[in-house]
Amino acid sequence: MIKKDIILKEVGKIIIPLVQIFGIYIIVNGHLSSGGGFSGGTVLASSLIIMHLIYGEAYVEKNIKKETLIKFISISLIFYAVVKGYSFLSDVYNLPHPALGPVGKIFSAGFILYLNIVLGILVASIFYIIFSIFISKEV
């Protein structure tokens, strides 16, 4: 038993940060190439699930508590609704908004980049909490 765990832990130390960087890359490049909030959030959630399976529940619970994740989810949903309502009104009454920018840069396309990031955090947190409830059979 001890020998199998050593191989998994040493490989996990190298692979899990690479998976997280790949997930963040898919989220941030939502308006330039294929990707977006939902697929990037799924990749980010799978990295958290692998960390739970390899290192045990106590290690993940020490760094990422469940109450913080539930606060992230609620704040993300309210933030998405408020930003979308503001962007509806900002076209009629000429309110300030982020630039539509030179086409092809990362900081362009108005509100799309920020909405993608918020969706990514929401989807990743929801999938990890559902998995953690299924595997320990209590909240």
> Smaller CB distance to another protein: residue 11 or 81?
81
Residue 128 contacts residue 49 (beta carbons within 8 Å): yes
Binding site for another protein (CB under 8 A): 30-36, 38, 73, 77, 80-81, 84, 87, 100-101, 103-104, 108-112, 115-116, 119, 122-123, 126, 129-130, 133-134, 137-139
Cα-Cα-Cα-Cα torsion 121, 24, 59, 69, nearest 10 degrees, comes to -10
CB of 75 to another protein, least distance (A): 12
> Smaller CB distance to another protein: residue 7 or 100?
100
From its phi and psi, is residue 56 left (phi > 0), alpha (psi between -120 and 50) or beta?
A: left
